[in-house]
Amino acid sequence: MTNETNKEWWQTFFFGPWQELQLAGYPEEQNQAEATFMISALRLQPGARILDVPCGPGRHSIAFAKAGFQVTGIDFNPDAIEHARRSAAENGVAAEFAVADMREFSWTQPFDGAVCFYGSFGYFDDEQNLRFASRVAEALRPGGRFLIDIQVAESLFPKFRERDWQWMRQDPPLRIMEERQWHLDSGKVESTWSFIGETISSHRISMRIYTYRELCGLLRTAGFSRFDAFETGTQKPFRLGSPRLALIAEK
């Protein structure tokens, strides 16, 4: 059995209080709005095949399936995949889900589009982030497009704060305090998330923060050649200080 102290941060973070919040769900209006944005930004045709990775509890996968797309969702967390399968059945939609490492997954037919939404790119070091991007490129048909929703240096640093508080729910009460440090040598933001409710627990996060140019360079190495940059949620051009980047990379 792997010692907890030897695990990567994502091997523990997504099984703690954050999983409870994730599995509790998001507003349906938010899920539909985000899926509609991704479908438009990827210029997907009706019935296209979409790869959602990592898919978490499948909220976007199910929204895509409701819109008539063929969806495969992949996540390393078996609890999230079980929840996704149950939600798909409850919603009466056909969506395929699999438990797999986002850097190592298999497929039977090429996808028309792929999404990595909600800041899920940058969990690893540069070599392994490239491995993930390369797997996605391999899974796409020629001309297929990959949408990454992410914080890059140009969006994060104009508003960077070393400490933030936010209410996640009122009943029972739960607040999160996030304390952040920027590391110049690694290009990572190291954070501690403290979940404060009936009990208190703290969990570490380590995210690689790319500049826009660095991210495009990594994706070119992975097999992508053309890029569009939008503000996430709109199709306004991305600029310095935009809230988030939705980067569209074409194979």
CB atoms within 10 A of CB 150: 25
The answer to the question of residue 18 being in a domain is no
56: pLDDT strictly greater than 60: yes
Express as a percent the part of the chain with pLDDT over 90.
Answer: 90
The answer to the question of residue 204 being in a domain is no
The answer to the question of residue 226 being in a domain is yes
Residue 42, helix vs strand vs coil: helix
Mean pLDDT in the chain?
A: 95
2: pLDDT strictly greater than 50: no
pLDDT number for residue 79:
96
Q: What is the pLDDT of residues 193-203, one digit of tens each?
A: 999 998 999 99
Integer Cα distance of 249 and 227 in angstroms: 5
Integer Cα distance of 15 and 20 in angstroms: 8
Residue 32's pLDDT band, with cuts at 50, 70 and 90, is very high
Residue 215 φ then ψ, to 5°: -65, -45
The answer to the question of residue 137 being in a domain is yes
pLDDT number for residue 1:
35
CB-CB contact of 66 with 42 (8 Å): no
Which of 52, 50, 82 is CA-nearest to residue 68? 50
pLDDT number for residue 170:
83
Residue 4's pLDDT band, with cuts at 50, 70 and 90, is low
Q: Which two tokens stand for residue 227?
A: 């890029």
pLDDT number for residue 8:
93
The answer to the question of residue 219 being in a domain is yes
Mean pLDDT, residues 178-193: 96
At position 237, the amino acid (one-letter code) is P
Stretch (H or E) spanning 21 = helix 17-24
The answer to the question of residue 1 being in a domain is no
pLDDT number for residue 143:
98
Q: What is the pLDDT of residues 119-134, one digit of tens each?
A: 999 999 999 999 999 9
The answer to the question of residue 132 being in a domain is yes
Q: What is the pLDDT of residues 163-174, one digit of tens each?
A: 999 988 888 899
The answer to the question of residue 161 being in a domain is no
CATH (domain of 39): 3.40.50.150
Integer Cα distance of 150 and 158 in angstroms: 15
Q: What is the pLDDT of residues 67-119, one digit of tens each?
A: 999 999 999 999 999 999 999 999 999 999 999 999 999 999 999 999 999 99
Residue in the structure block whose two tokens are 């988030």: 244
Domain residues for the domain of 243 are: 26-151+211-250
For residue 167, CA distances in Å to 20, 30, 147 come to 15, 18, 29
pLDDT number for residue 168:
86
Residue 5's pLDDT band, with cuts at 50, 70 and 90, is low
Integer Cα distance of 66 and 177 in angstroms: 36
178: pLDDT strictly greater than 50: yes
Nearest 5 degrees, angle CA 235-CA 24-CA 230? Answer: 10
Number of structural domains (the chain) is 1
